[in-house]
Amino acid sequence: MLRMEGIDKSYGAVRANRAIDLRVEAGRIVGLLGENGSGKTTLMNVLFGMVRADAGRITFRGRPLHPTSPREAIAAGIGMIHQHFMLVPAMSVTENVMLGWKEVGVWLRPGIVAEQIRAAGRAWGLEVDPDAVVGDLPLGRQQRVEILKAVLRGAELLILDEPTSNLSPPEVAALLDFLRRFRDEGRAVVFISHKLGEVLDLCDEVVVLRDGETVGARPVAGASRADLAHLMVGRDVGASAAWAPRAAGAEVLLVADLHGRDAAGVERLRGVSFSVREGEILAIAGVDGNGQAELVEALGGLVPPSAGRIHVDGADLTTEGIGARLSAGVAHVPADRASTGLVGEMTLAENLALRDVGRPPFRRGPWLDAAATRAVARERMGRFGILAAGLDAPARTLSGGNQQKVILAREIGRRPRLLLAAQPTRGLDPGATRFVIEQVLALRDAGAAVLYVSTELEEVLAVADRIGVMCGGRLVGMMWRDEADLGRIGLMMAGALDETPDAERLYGVRG
């Protein structure tokens, strides 16, 4: 169905794609794998007409295709679901589907389009209310709208870029079901993901990119997770980083009966109490949207809790702002790295100083100390292996993994007492994930307390000294590392098991 041959694309001195070949047959799902910055996104942008290749040929359904805009790619029968949805949040589902759709004609007939949305939704198992306002829909539903847009425009080939990173497990299962049906209708899918489990489960074959080149193409049957990881990274990625037992020390963070609401006023955090100690990682597992985000935001000082108390080293920080938290040694890696953790338009050096410009060494008297700022930035770049064009490169030009390294370098580089890490590896490739985990473990080994929130169970098991499970805004379970039991944690995450944890586990005192 699709054949891309010898695709070349350079950005300045960076060769994002070098002679890449990609073939996708009808009735197949191809996984496109590669670390952050390996050229996957560039390749797909070339195919979708968002970027012009320097060289190479594309044939799609037997005809040459060199789209100069997404419109041409869509007309040819290609649909792309971006990681960040291209929807207008203030408009309804129907309006979003009509937007830029040629077949709508001169007069808008929302009734007819709404009926088409319902029909396609039923046919494909993608039901969504056509009258709902997109911004009010959960992310899983918004993704359905994106898929319906593509399907209604007659897509024969769907490209999905990291489609599962914001979905809960049931939503993921539904998406994978849909993609299989789509394939079985004789169409084709390109599935870009770092989640090797999903790739093994869904794809028929995989193509692996590294440093802008194709380094492997193979059928999935018979492949193991380790095979794929090895192909992607070009070296063996150990299953779990080096966690070693370590005695926990004094209590650093104490949370008492914390409640919190989201922006819409819905109570998302319903009475959470626990503590985290020196040299200890408390990992919080749970399906996204069960209060973890509100917990970290309240602890980090972004959103004040509606009730309860937060103590760090005995000092009550409940009503204090970010400044007091920074002074108390609280570091925070936010879940939303691109728009909260970094300022995309500002430089790498500025981002490394983002939360500390009021303090030495970044400030000297009333002035910013540019020389010290650059010296610190240079040191952090080296220590954390941040790859960027230079200290003055805008943060948005860095790859996802390097952006996360910038945040870690800033937060860990401050030598915190307490690190709050929310989904620190989301969207990262195995190499970058491993790096993040190693840094967090090193910080814990050095005596800091860490609260680590993740929806990836494997990761939780790899880093945790204690594991808490959140469901419905409450801690429904808390266990020591050596008590961890996947079955039980799974039941708790799904809301099927609620053990009220005992004080010993909540506060980390082993009797």
Partner 1 sequence: MTAGVLDAVLGGLAGQRALRHLGLALLGIALALAAAALLVLSSGRNPLVAYASLAAGALGSWDRIAVALNKATPYLLTGAGVALCFRARVMNIGGEGQIALGGLGATAVAMMLPETAAPLLVALALAAGAAAGAAWAGLAAVIRLGRGVHEVLVTLLLNFVGVLVVSEALHGDLGEPGAGFPQSPMLVRAAWLPKLVPGTDLHVGILIAVAAVAVCHAVLWRTPFGFRLRVLGASETAAAYAGVSKARTFFAVMAVAGGLAGVAGAIDVLGVHYRLIDGFSHGFGFAALSIALIGGLNPIGVLPAGLFFGFLEAGALAMQRAVGVPSPLVAVIQGLTMVFILAAMALPGRRGAQ
**What does the DSSP assignment read for 458-498?**
HHHHHH-SEEEEEETTEEEEEEEGGG--HHHHHHHHTTS--
Contact 93, 129 (CB under 8 A): yes
The only residue of 16, 29, 192, 203 in contact with partner 1, by rule CB under 8 A: 16
Using CB under 8 A as the binding rule, whether residue 228 contacts partner 1 is answered as no
Q: Is 288 exposed, middle or buried (0-12, 13-18, 19+ CB in 10 A)?
A: buried
Closest by CA to 434, choosing from 239, 245, 208, is 239
Among 300, 305, 427, 501, binds partner 1 (CB under 8 A): 300
| CB neighbour list of residue 240: distance below 8 Å, 6 or more residues apart | 458, 461, 462
DSSP 8-state secondary structure symbol assigned to residue 294: H
CB of 396 to partner 1, least distance (A): 8
List 1, 20, 39, 126, residue binding partner 1 (CB under 8 A)? 39
β-pairing, 307-312 with 315-316?
antiparallel
Q: Which residues contact 316 (CB under 8 A, 6 or more apart)?
A: 309, 310
Size of the site for partner 1 (CB under 8 A): 45
Single-letter code of the amino acid located at 272: V
Give the relative orientation of helices 370-383 and 400-413 as an angle to the nearest 10 degrees. Answer: 120
In angstroms, the CA 354 to CA 197 distance is 36
Distance in Å, CB of 379 to partner 1, minimum: 20
Closer CB to partner 1, residue 128 or residue 422?
422
Q: Stretches 240-248, 366-374, 417-425, 452-460: which one binds partner 1 (CB under 8 A)?
A: 366-374
Select the residue interacting with partner 1 from 99, 112, 250, 370 (CB under 8 A).
370
Q: Residue 64 Cβ, how far from partner 1 at the closest point, in Å?
A: 24
**In this chain, which stretch among 22-30, 163-171, 287-295, 362-370 interacts with partner 1, using CB under 8 A?**
362-370
Confirm or reject binding of residue 345 to partner 1 (CB under 8 A).
Answer: yes
Asked if 496 touches partner 1 (CB under 8 A), the answer is: no
Q: Tell me which residues in 46-85 interact with partner 1 (CB under 8 A).
A: 51
Q: Is 367 in the site for partner 1 (CB under 8 A)?
A: yes
Length of the chain: 511
Q: Verify binding: residue 166, partner 1, rule CB under 8 A.
A: no
* Of the candidate residues 210, 355, 405, 466, the single one contacting partner 1 (CB under 8 A): 355
Q: How far is the CB of 442 from partner 1 (least distance, A)?
A: 24
Q: What is the DSSP letter of 153?
A: T
Residue found by looking up tokens 């929130």 in the block: 453
x/- contact string, 377-416, with partner 1 (CB under 8 A)? ---------------x-x--x-x-----------------
Burial, 186: exposed, middle or buried (Cβ in 10 Å; 0-12, 13-18, 19+)?
A: exposed
Binding partner 1 (rule: CB under 8 A), the pick from 7, 28, 45, 467 is: 45
> What whole-number distance in Å separates Cα of residue 35 and Cα of residue 428?
8
**Applying CB under 8 A, which part among 37-45, 261-269, 418-426, 432-440 lies near partner 1?**
37-45
The nearer residue to partner 1, 30 or 353, going by C-beta atoms, is: 353
Per CB under 8 A, residues contacting partner 1 are 11-12, 16, 36-37, 39, 41-42, 45, 51, 300-302, 321-323, 326, 332, 334, 336, 339-347, 350, 353-355, 357-358, 362-363, 366-368, 370, 392, 394, 397, 399
